[in-house]
Amino acid sequence: MKKVPVMPTAILALTAISASGGEQLRLAVSPAQSFAPSNLNIRARVVPNTENRSLTIIAESEDFYRSSQVELEGDHAPAMITFEFRGVPGGEYLVSGVLTDNAGHRRAIAGQRVRVIPSGLGE
């Protein structure tokens, strides 16, 4: 029987704050810790704003990168957007979201750290 050390994972929640003090983008990633290969479910909460044009979600570790981008229709875009990254291999990940305007400028950034424990089967 193989023992897998399980260490508490610190969840770092980076939340972008607007000039008015309100959060423009918030991410919730689950599971925060899992075994590989894992499916990561990302929920992005975006405050509707006429300047919102795209949201990019990135899952990045030392050996792996995956991203997804959706176009937003300003203040008519949904407030909650969900993403799923399937088959994510073992590693320490920063899952981040970048909200941009129509000129491509960053409006907000948010992130959360997650851990996918390698299965030991070829990883």
Token code pair at residue 70: 């959706």
3-state SS class at 84: strand
Could you read off the pLDDT of 95-115 as tens digits, one per residue? 999 999 999 999 999 999 999
Give the span between the Cα atoms of 21 and 13, in whole angstroms: 17
Token code pair at residue 63: 């050996």
Cβ atoms within 10 Å, residue 70? 14
The architecture (CATH level 2) of 16-117 comes to Sandwich (2.60)
What's the pLDDT at 119?
Answer: 83
Could you read off the pLDDT of 13-54 as tens digits, one per residue? 343 433 334 689 999 999 999 999 999 999 999 999 999 999
What's the pLDDT at 40?
Answer: 98
Could you read off the pLDDT of 82-97 as tens digits, one per residue? 999 999 999 999 999 9
CA dihedral 69, 71, 72, 78 (to 10 degrees): -60
Pairing verdict, β 23-30 and 33-35: unpaired
Instruction: Give domain limits for the chain.
Output: 16-117
Token code pair at residue 88: 């994510």
pTM: 0.80
Q: Is the CB of residue 109 less than 8 Å from the CB of residue 14?
A: yes
Q: Which residue has the higher pLDDT, 119 or 15?
A: 119
Q: How many residues make up the chain in this entry?
A: 123
What's the pLDDT at 5?
Answer: 43
Class of residue 44 by CB neighbours under 10 A (exposed 0-12, middle 13-18, buried 19+): buried
